[in-house]
Chain A
Amino acid sequence: MIAIVDYGVGNLFSLSSSLKKIGAGCVVTNDKAQIENAGGVILPGVGAFGDAARKLKDSGLYDYIKIVAAQGKPLLGICLGMQMLFDKSYEYGEHQGLGLIHGEVRPLSQYVGRLKIPHMGWNSLKIIKQCPLFKYTSDGDYVYFVHSYCGVCADKSDLAATTDYGAAVTAAVSEGNVFGMQFHPEKSGEVGLKILKAFAELTEERV
């Protein structure tokens, strides 16, 4: 069972539908007991960092997500959920993140020159390190991105994949049991479903 953290942001219908499609049990919840019982946790998110971080705090789950990660439970942050894994973000001010991946979230405009912002659409993955979620993924596979800010890892060994958008933009990060995807696996067709399948398999190993 995978717990999708419901703290009032993001399109959880697509995410839960895609997990159902690959046969993974999931529950959309803000209940600590249900998260505790889950084999893995997905932290979704769309919108602005500051607003989402506040909502996560309001839901009483901010510190709990850190505890879950420390317990060794597989944790996957998606899109803004990935950005929230970092130490801090500079989206409309300066906001503290969960600090599970070291580094910062900065405006894409600092890196991509005159290319359009947001970076929206299908772009190909360059796999930097063979993280367990890429078990079924190949270099060059296309995934769907929508973002205006990007994670910048302080420790390059956390960088799992990049995508070429005027610069090597962080596409995925991983550190132990903590994973982050800047793209939306639930919107990335077969490639995305296979990434979620690899995550579901990690969570099953723990049950």
Chain B
Amino acid sequence: MLAKRIIPCLDVRDGRVVKGKNFEGLKDVNDPVRLAAYYSDCGADELVFYDITASAEGRKLFADVLKNVARNVFIPLTVGGGINTLEDFDRVLKCGADKVSVNSGAIKNPSLIAGAAEKYGNQCVVLSMDVKRVNGQFVVFSHGGRIQTPLDAIEWAKFGQTNGAGEIVVNSIDTDGVKGGFDIEMLKAVCDVVSIPVIASGGAGGIQHFIDLFKSVNVDAGLGASIFHYGETNIRQLKMALKDAGIEVRL
């Protein structure tokens, strides 16, 4: 049976991993290459590697940092941040990424999803969305969650799937950094309308939150950052607890 995936996310700025509550007050945590190798060794199923400042400031990911991660990590690696064109896809795939995550770049140019899926295959294209409730509606935000767009998250998820996205990451701005649990309501709303894998992001504060997540909604993976970076939760212990709770995981 397919295992539920646990995915540490490495938000990177200037070659260092950062993570802050609600995207504010970024704090330097660790070296991405060391952290990636550590996570791979302790049982992470996949890694997501975001340049969180790239969309806002037009920064490009540094190829050598990516390559060093890919040389040390033999699990799937997703790279995002500043992906606006097919050339950006090409650039990070050549550095060892397996999947490329598009967010603001796809909002600016929605045809990027279909173009990349055609060129690199659906499995390569991850649609990542930062979503917040506005007047009772799930609304997509761009630029690291700073700018509200006119896009309805449910419609955007459907558009992504129809145009060839192979996976969707749903990051709830409402629960991100709060450590009060994943946004089950928002995730259910997305899972109800798509048949491709959905990755839950935003809100993980402890082991029980992952158990609640997988018990309540048919997501394929749970993503976390600070919960892992600060050593609050050990991935191996988390996976043992999931297994004890009857959830299929890779141990």
Contact = CB atoms under 8 A, between A and B. Distances in A.
A80 B94 CA distance: 19
B174 interface: no
Contacts of A121: 2-3, 5, 45, 197, 220-221
B197 A186 contact: no
A142 B76 contact: no
Contacts of A21: 71, 74
Given A47-B120, A121-B220, A142 B250 contact: yes
B167 interface: yes
Dominant SS at the A interface? mixed
Name the prevailing secondary structure of the B interface residues. loop
Interface in B80-98: 93-98
Interface in A107-132: 115-124
Query: B interface, how many residues as a size bin?
Result: 20 to 34
B95 A13 contact: yes
B29 interface: no
Contact of A123 (B2, B94, B221): B2
B70 A14 contact: yes
A146 B120 CA distance: 13
Interface in B213-251: 220-221, 250
B123 interface: yes
A17 B70 contact: yes
Contact of A189 (B71, B74, B94, B221): B74
B196 interface: yes
Contacts of B45: 121-122
B58 interface: no
A47 B121 contact: yes
Interface string A172-207: 000000000000101111101100000000000000
28 contacts: A11-B96, A11-B98, A13-B95, A14-B70, A17-B70, A46-B121, A47-B120, A47-B121, A48-B121, A115-B2, A116-B195, A116-B196, A118-B166, A119-B2, A120-B123, A120-B220, A121-B2, A122-B2, A122-B250, A123-B3, A124-B3, A142-B3, A165-B1, A184-B76, A187-B74, A189-B40, A189-B75, A193-B74
Interface of A: 11, 13-14, 17-18, 20-21, 46-48, 115-124, 142, 144, 146-148, 164-165, 184, 186-190, 192-193
Given A20-B71, A120-B123, A121-B5, 11 more contacts: A14-B77, A14-B98, A17-B96, A21-B74, A118-B196, A120-B220, A121-B45, A121-B220, A146-B123, A165-B2, A192-B74
